[in-house]
Amino acid sequence: MLKKERFRRFIEYFTEHYPEPQTELNFSNPFELLTAVILSAQCTDKRINQITPALFARFAEPESLAAASVDEVFSYIRSVSYPNNKAKHLVGMAKAIMERFGGEIPTTLADLQSLPGVGRKTAHVILSVVYNEPTMAVDTHVFRVSHRLGLAPLTATTPLAVEKSLMAYIPKVHVPKAHHWLILHGRYICLARSPKCSICPLLDFCKYPQS
């Protein structure tokens, strides 16, 4: 099957069955989403959603987080992965937002990536979810599913290479949703170790069973 046809099948299926996919992180404003995404690195959304209510109640805006001590922030996030580094990143992120962006969440990739704890993936999530920009955040699920479905070639061995492969074929209007489609498919069906191939609706053009 030609790659163009694979993308067409992928987009048609999810457009019909999951027309409005959403992030599973709980948030009520851009600051909360940025905080949650930084925390979610190498951690489940379920775990993040368990600890953010208390965190957001204490630090409702960048100003209060910027004024906090790293130790206090750590006390709220101790159950997530790498809590020491993430506590430092959160305080640094809030200080940068207050000092350089007037308390507002940046709206460009370069500005977002200039914040402590914010890499390309995190910045793309913010641009996609908050600002509906056609950006493709490549996490472990997107990386895995893209290769298994043949949407990215085996030679695409980095997140950036996979991102470029996806962006070359997915129409811009679908990119923000496609990010969620790939994540959710990888989270619930195309699992890393024991994929649920027997219930996968995309199995007929998946390359994984052949490998």
φ, ψ for residue 77, nearest 5 deg: -120, 15
- Sort 33 into a burial class: Cβ within 10 Å, 0-12 / 13-18 / 19+: buried
Q: Which of 111, 121, 172, 204 is catalytic?
A: 121
DSSP H helices in the chain: 3-17, 30-40, 45-58, 62-66, 70-77, 83-100, 109-113, 120-129, 140-148, 159-169, 175-188
CA distances from 24 to 48, 94, 129, 157 (A): 10, 23, 11, 27
How many degrees, rounded to 5, is the angle at CA 138 between CA 133 and CA 142? 115
Q: Which of 46, 86, 88, 139 is catalytic?
A: 139
The answer to whether 121 is a known catalytic residue is yes
The answer to whether 71 is a known catalytic residue is no
Q: 124: Cβ–Cβ under 8 A, 6 or more apart, which residues?
A: 109, 135, 136, 137, 138, 163, 179
The residue among 34, 10, 7 whose CA lies nearest residue 165 is: 7
Catalytic residue set: 121, 139
